[in-house]
Amino acid sequence: MSLVAARLSGLFGWLGRVSAPVSDVLPVRLGATRLSATGSVPTRAQGFDQPLVWVSVALLLWGLVMVYSASIALPENPRFSKYTPTYFLLRHAMWLMIAIATALLAYQVPVAAWEKHARPLFVVSLVLLALVLIPHVGKVVYGARRWISLGPLSFQPSELAKFTVLLYAADYMVRKMDVKERFFRAVLPMGAAVAVVGVLLLAEPDMGAFMVIAVIAMGILFLGGVNARMFFLIATVLLVAFMLIIASSEWRRERIFAYLDPWSETNALAKGYQLTHSLIAIGRGEIFGVGLGGSVEKLNWLPEAHTDFLLAVIGEEFGLVGVVTVIGLFFWLVRRMMHIGRQAIALDRVFAGLVAQGVAIWVGFQAFINMGVNLGALPTKGLTLPLMSYGGSAILVNLVAIAVVLRIDQENRTLMQGGRV
């Protein structure tokens, strides 16, 4: 009798599975793992996205080597005569250790906690941006007041603002989902928040950071469901605003003119100096480069070779192959983070999905601008190459952002295996 009951139970179980909705049993592909909503155990599941980690580590380590290569000759410059050849290498390595430790802590924080504290974190970043402008609090470098001294280190609040604006924008779109078709109720408050950040950044001045923040906010608004008409209206307003900012500043206008004709007698030794030497460096590298350490332009010819123009040194020492490899790594990184964001949205985790895609927009856009400047495709703009250029604050915040994306992916995997987050 028990055997008959067991067979009938198996038959009805099979019929139940056959009659179940197709959406309940369709497998979801996650890398090499296939998970099913029926609760079946995956053949192979990872706790986090290992390829994303290794690509990030590759960029960090390559950047560390290139920062040393690009800065080793700086002590020959009278302005850096008090520094040792390893000064920037050691500071960059120290920031890397701090950033990795902070990223490991950030990975432990649930995404729900980031959503809960998105607005307070945004307010904190506004306070720090205001503090930078106070004399004797903000540190002035090259005429720009962008840093706050923390003992032997300096922190740049504009880097933190990129991350907090991203969190705030994602949280804002989740809260305003029901009114996203109404311009003044859906977009105007977010526009006002970005405008406040922009005023503080332009007072430093740091137009490059403002551009990145504006693009992050725009991207999240678009991905969050703002209709095309409102999106293009916002884009037009921002474009006009940036044009007016450039037109009202003489030195910004000079940069544009130098970009259009960098080799002229007027620009080659003035505003076009960095661009011309960047192009010379990349031209010297040809296909395979002159070899690691063989750059001539880093010998105090190319200013800021270890920060804004690190890609030019990579192009000279590793050639076209090196530049294409860097572009390929960033392309893969951005594509992977966008994929993680789409998975989160498919699991009805809109905030998490917008954050992951926002980080992808941030890293991708900033890398695109930096590469365009180094290659002469865009006007000179003081933006570093994410994960690679010298700059402790940028490395720290970039790694925290990537750690949050890894946490989003880990929670996605947990949910797809039938667990809870």
| Residue 114 and residue 412 in contact, taking contact as beta carbons nearer than 8 Å | no
Instruction: Note the pLDDT tens digit of each residue in 191-225.
Output: 888 899 999 998 888 888 999 999 999 899 888 87
Q: How far apart are CA 341 and CA 142, in angstroms?
A: 38
Handedness of CA 221, 412, 97, 124 (dihedral sign): positive
Instruction: Note the pLDDT tens digit of each residue in 334-368.
Output: 999 999 999 999 999 999 999 999 999 999 999 99
Whether 28 shows a pLDDT value over 70: the answer reads: no
The structure's pTM equals 0.85
pLDDT of residue 13: 46
Beta-ladder partners of 28: 35
Residue 315 has which token pair?
Answer: 């192009």
| SS3 call for 140 | strand
| Long-range Cβ contact pairs of 183-188 (< 8 A, separation 24 or more) | 183/230, 183/233, 186/226, 186/230, 187/221, 187/226, 187/230, 187/234
pLDDT of residue 111: 96
Q: How far apart are CA 61 and CA 13, in angstroms?
A: 54
Whether 279 shows a pLDDT value over 70: the answer reads: yes
Domain boundaries of the chain, sorted by first residue:
58-108+262-421, 114-248
Helix, strand, coil abundance in the chain, percent, nearest 5:
65, 5, 30
Tell me the HSE value of 327 on the side-chain side, using a 13 A CA sphere. Answer: 15
Handedness of CA 159, 163, 168, 173 (dihedral sign): positive
Name, in order, each residue with C-beta under 8 angstroms of 334's C-beta and a sequence gap of 6 or more.
360, 363, 364, 367
Between 419 and 321, name the one with better pLDDT: 321
pLDDT of residue 184: 65
Beta strand pairing status for 144-150 and 153-155?
Answer: antiparallel
Instruction: Note the pLDDT tens digit of each residue in 239-261.
Output: 888 888 888 878 788 888 888 88
pLDDT of residue 183: 62
In 141-263, alpha helices (H): 157-175, 183-186, 188-202, 207-223, 228-247, 250-260
| SS3 call for 27 | strand
pLDDT of residue 181: 59
Of 92, 85, 104, 86, whose CA–CA distance to 61 is shortest?
A: 92
Mean per-residue pLDDT for 147-155?
A: 82
Lowest average pLDDT, out of 28-42, 50-64, 333-347, 405-419, goes to: 28-42
Residue 125 has which token pair?
Answer: 């970043």
Supply the mean pLDDT for the chain: 85
Q: How far apart are CA 201 and CA 157, in angstroms?
A: 10
Using 50, 70 and 90 to split pLDDT, how confident is the model at 232? confident
pLDDT of residue 182: 65
pLDDT of residue 179: 56
Residue 188 has which token pair?
Answer: 């105007």
| Site of tokens 């560390």 | 64
Using 50, 70 and 90 to split pLDDT, how confident is the model at 231? confident
pLDDT of residue 185: 67
Of 201, 195, 194, 199, whose CA–CA distance to 217 is shortest?
A: 194
Beta strand pairing status for 153-155 and 27-30?
Answer: unpaired
pLDDT of residue 381: 83
